[in-house]
Amino acid sequence: MTDQGFPVDEIDTSRPHPARMYDYYLGGWDNYEVDREAAQRVIDVLPDIIPAARANRDFLHRSVRFLVESGIRQIIDIGTGIPTSPNTHEMAQALAPEVRVAYIDNDPIVATHAGARLTGAGNTGFFLGDVRQPRTILDHPTIGKLIDFDEPVAVLLVAVLHFIKDEEDPAGIVATLRDALPAGSFLVLSHATADFHASSLPEVFKIYDKATATLNTRPYAEVAALFEGFDVVEPGVVQVPMWRPDGPDPEPAEVRRIGFYGGVGRKS
């Protein structure tokens, strides 16, 4: 156990973890040999995974800025990932220090780092939870402490639902979260797709099949359908570099490399 009571002894170093593989793609150090080997095999067949991971992280930053500028002061960030600065609360609180953020991930390694890097001040919290049990997340005491469901809330599902199989009902998960939110709330979602790298993906799937969560890419229409019940804000669901870029639109050749769709929806 860590000082924060998180289960460091539950960390599995025998199988690659998606959170630690993503950390490796982003150039982080919070990963083990088993993760580096698996992530490197993905990079060998799909080198675009590195710009894609970075573009996804940049999308997270721009969308959080958009949320705060839209008046959001409370955020539930599910599938937090291993802390990578700037994290959601750092982005949000730089603009509005009163923003409250609840972080949730199901990976114990995220929990061990969360104590030091994601929590501390009274307006952020982390707990271990599984997006496949959205009701349990909504009812958690940390949510009760940080989130007021009478005021608009933003739910972040950034690069997490592609770890959920069809039979685990990703649309049903989003619907349960959506139904708990008051009008004026937001959904931020990004999702891996095979639409641009069809030939490399079978090999990538095989690598994730041996990890703690399988990879379930989805085509454009299925990702867009996850926004049911939300009004998708401009520019819609797009490849993540195209979502409100800072500066001019990125080059089409660069955008083609990015196998992540993302978007932001508002509940009316």
Ligand X SMILES: C[S@@+](CC[C@H](N)C(=O)[O-])C[C@H]1O[C@@H](n2cnc3c(N)ncnc32)[C@H](O)[C@@H]1O
Which parts of this chain interact with ligand X (CB under 6 A)? Answer: 18-19, 22, 56-57, 60, 78-81, 105-107, 110, 130-132, 158-160, 163, 213
Place of tokens 């009812």: 139
Q: How far apart are CA 88 and CA 76, in angstroms?
A: 10
Min dist. Cβ of residue 239 to ligand X (A): 15
Please, which residue, 162 or 267, has the CB nearer to ligand X?
162
Min dist. Cβ of residue 262 to ligand X (A): 9
Strands (E), 121-267: 124-128, 154-158, 186-192, 231-232, 238-239, 260-266
Please, which residue, 68 or 160, has the CB nearer to ligand X?
160
Min dist. Cβ of residue 255 to ligand X (A): 18
Please, which residue, 104 or 181, has the CB nearer to ligand X?
104
Cβ neighbours of 209 (radius 10 Å): 10
What is the pairing mode between strands 100-105 and 124-128? Answer: parallel
Of 116, 131, 26, 7, give the one whose Cα is nearest residue 78: 131
- Do residues 77 and 104 touch, judged by C-beta distance below 8 A? yes
Min dist. Cβ of residue 160 to ligand X (A): 4
Min dist. Cβ of residue 155 to ligand X (A): 12
C-alpha triplet 186, 187, 189: angle, nearest 5°: 150
Min dist. Cβ of residue 15 to ligand X (A): 13
Q: Which residue is nearest to ligand X (CB)?
A: 81
Please, which residue, 135 or 151, has the CB nearer to ligand X?
135
Q: How far apart are CA 148 and CA 150, in angstroms?
A: 5
Please, which residue, 222 or 248, has the CB nearer to ligand X?
222
Please, which residue, 76 or 160, has the CB nearer to ligand X?
160
- Do residues 104 and 80 touch, judged by C-beta distance below 8 A? yes
Please, which residue, 74 or 80, has the CB nearer to ligand X?
80
- Greatest distance between any 2 Cα atoms in the chain: 48
What angle in degrees, to the nearest 10, is found between the helix axes of 18-25 and 108-117? 60
Amino acid code (one letter) for 109: I
Please, which residue, 78 or 101, has the CB nearer to ligand X?
78
Cβ neighbours of 246 (radius 10 Å): 8
Min dist. Cβ of residue 29 to ligand X (A): 16
Sign of CA dihedral 22, 26, 32, 36: positive
Min dist. Cβ of residue 59 to ligand X (A): 8
